[in-house]
Amino acid sequence: MRHVPRLGAIVVAILLIGSACSDDGGAADPGPSVEGGVDATISLEVLDGDLVGGSRQEDIDIGDSVEVIVSGNSDDQVHIHGYDRYVDLVDGEGSVSFDALIPGTFEIELEASGRLLIRMTVS
Amino acid sequence: MIADLVAHGIGGRTDLPLPAWQLAWAAGFSVAISFVALGAFWERPHLAAAARGRALWTAIGPTSRVLEATAKLIGLFLFGVVLFAAWRGNTNFAVNISGDAFLIWFWVGLQFVSAVFGDVWRAFNPYFTIADSAAWVKSRVTQAEISSVDHGEGSLWPAAIAIFAYLWYELAYHAAAAPRSIGVFLTLYSIVMLAGASRYGRGWVRTSDGFAVLFSKLSAMAIFHLDDDRRLRIRPPLAGIATLTPVRGMVPFIVVVLGSTTFDGFTRSSIWFDISKNRLGWGLTAVHTLGLLAVVLIVGLAYVFAINLMATVTGESTEELSGAFGPTLVPIAAAYAVAHYFSLLVLDGQRMFIQISDPFGRGWDLFGTKDYAIDWLLVSPSVIAWVQTLAIAIGHVLAVAAAHDRAISRYPHDVAVRSQYPMLGVMILYTVAGLFLLLGA
């Protein structure tokens, strides 16, 4: 029982830390995106089924209008998971635009080979 | 053809990392509660007395027989649909019901249902139905009395191996979501289960079907249970943990489940991204297999270390202690499942509304839900983060409470308190590690 005051202090301190910081825990409001404009571009150069420079992480602000532009020489299909958008590559090229309204981390990959290209975090 | 090669699990969406302050909050809360548990928790065991609960309904008579038969038929029917979809349906997992039905609704959904409500799967399990029917036919043919089933007294090692086989398939194999892969896995798993039942008797399935064992152990936390006289009873959550008797293989079983969920969390981290990003196909499977084995081993070694320390305090054998305290890890397993798979169930799980209208991906629209649009914003990131944080924190509290209750019922108060230091240590380790993985660092 003699532990109780000290424990109380710890619990109170933890709760204070929690409430003091909880403002940034709320859902981010999708910001206004410019009509027709593009806020973020993800450029991918895919040569012989590999992403030039290797797989990488891309961070996108929620609500942004995103354009994925693919160039190179692979006739595959690029799949943006979660958003379920596909880019059919013709002579290695293709592009797709979407509004980043779904928060989370999503894989962008070459559909046929399963090669992971981008890990896209929308937050 | 293309989807056969898809090199990832279901969905390709993962949660945003947990904010650091929230992690600190949950970790601090868990540690604080653990220390309260040492001194100020109850001084007499309570769970065993509460585990029986209040009788609601006696499952004997025609109504119960009709319900039972219906559940069995539904279980067989759903199993048949999933197996048929896997082998004969569209090869794109997004329009084939088998992936989401097996990997999301069966695996994740039933873990949640079992831990909250009870061992529902027992009524539907097609392996039980097939093995029981075969035993009945055999008794008719041979004029012998039908063999009885012992419930859960056998070693759980076969179940630990079975659930590891599944978890390897789900988390390490590179094409786990592809319908044909699911067909192969389910077929092999079913052959092993039914061959075992025919070789060792139908009781064998009860202790060897990894899914059935997991759902049944989780249901010890649940509010409903069926007693030996077939009475449906309601009881406080968690109380049933006290009724889990020591069974050989119980600890390895739980460690495999805990370690695998931990590994699944680890694969979302940027560390793992760097390790695995340039690997494909079986190369990816190989790296995942090593990672999975390593994490399960670490989780297991932490437990063995704690049990050995505990043995020096109480003077009992480590085997005895493992049997006695292994069940108290069940709430942590449930908490990990909720923290890692809650969003998968409520977000990706919505695809089921579309798929029930066209289970084999042939362009049908049986229930008019073909065009249902998945609401990816059904739960916000902050709701998901809070569910994760609270699941881990509450799971930890429940595990500590269950272990405390066990210790109090076995030892004098001062020994009970001292014996709990190592167990609390390992539980804090699991909890904080579980939280860190949610940071996605």
| Interfacial B residues in 264-303 facing A (CB < 8 Å) | 268, 270, 273, 277-278, 280-281
pLDDT digits (tens, 9 = 90+) for B115-142: 999 999 999 999 999 999 998 888 888 8
pLDDT of residue A35: 52
Q: What is the rounded distance in angstroms from the CA atom of residue B343 to the CA atom of residue B360?
A: 25
What are the pLDDT digits (tens) for A81-117?
888 888 889 998 999 999 999 999 998 988 877 788 9
CB contact (8 A) between residue B7 and residue A109? yes
Among A7, A101, A109, whose Cβ lies nearest the Cβ of B36? A7
Which pLDDT score, from 0 to 100, does residue B180 have?
A: 95
Bridge partners (DSSP) listed for residue A85:
A80
Contact list in B for residue A58 (CB cut-off 8 A) is none
Among A2, A119, A123, most B C-beta atoms within 10 A, so best to mutate, is A119
Q: Is pLDDT above 60 for A27?
A: no
Question: A55 and B385 in contact by Cβ < 8 A?
Answer: no
Contacts of A27 in chain B (CB under 8 A): 380-383
**pLDDT at B72 (0 to 100):** 97
A113 touches chain B (CB under 8 A): yes
A51 has a pLDDT exceeding 60: yes
List the 17-36 stretch of A: residues with Cβ below 8 A of B: 17-18, 21-22, 24-28
A108–chain B nearest CA distance, Å: 8
CB of B253 within 8 A of CB of B137?
no
Q: B353 touching A, CB under 8 A?
A: no
- The residues of chain B scoring below 50 in pLDDT are 1-9, 152
Which value, in Å, is the radius of gyration of the alpha carbons in chain B?
22
DSSP string, B67-111: HHHHHHHHHHHHHHHHHHHHHHS-S-GGG-HHHIIIIIIIIIIHH
Q: How many whole angstroms separate alpha carbon B315 and alpha carbon B412?
A: 13
Measure the CA–CA gap between B68 and B74, rounded to whole angstroms: 10
Residue position matching structure tokens 């509010």: B223
Average pLDDT, integer, range A70-90: 88
pLDDT score of A29: 44
pLDDT of residue B111: 97
ipTM of the complex: 0.78
Higher-pLDDT residue of A66, B4:
A66
Q: State residue A60's pLDDT score.
A: 95
User: What is the per-residue burial (b if ≥16 Cβ within 10 Å, else e) of B214-242?
Assistant: bbbbbbbbbbbbbeeeebbbebeebbbbb
- Residue A20 pLDDT > 50, yes or no? no
- pTM for this one? 0.88
Q: Do B25 and A17 touch (CB under 8 A)?
A: yes
**CA angle B343-B349-B354, nearest 5°?**
150
Categorize the per-residue pLDDT at A5 as very low, low, confident or very high, splitting at 50, 70 and 90. Answer: very low
- pLDDT tens digit string along B249-284? 999 999 999 999 999 988 888 888 888 887 888 998
* B241 vs B217: CA distance, rounded Å: 9
CA-based nearest residue to B29, from B403, B386, B428: B428
Superfamily of domain A40-122: Cupredoxins -  blue copper proteins (2.60.40.420)
Return the pLDDT at B93: 86
Q: Domain spans of chain A?
A: 40-122
Burial class (CB in 10 A: 0-12, 13-18, 19+), B161: middle
Strand extents, DSSP E, B25-176: 54-58
Residues B336/B258, Cβ–Cβ less than 8 Å: yes
pLDDT for the residue A15: 45
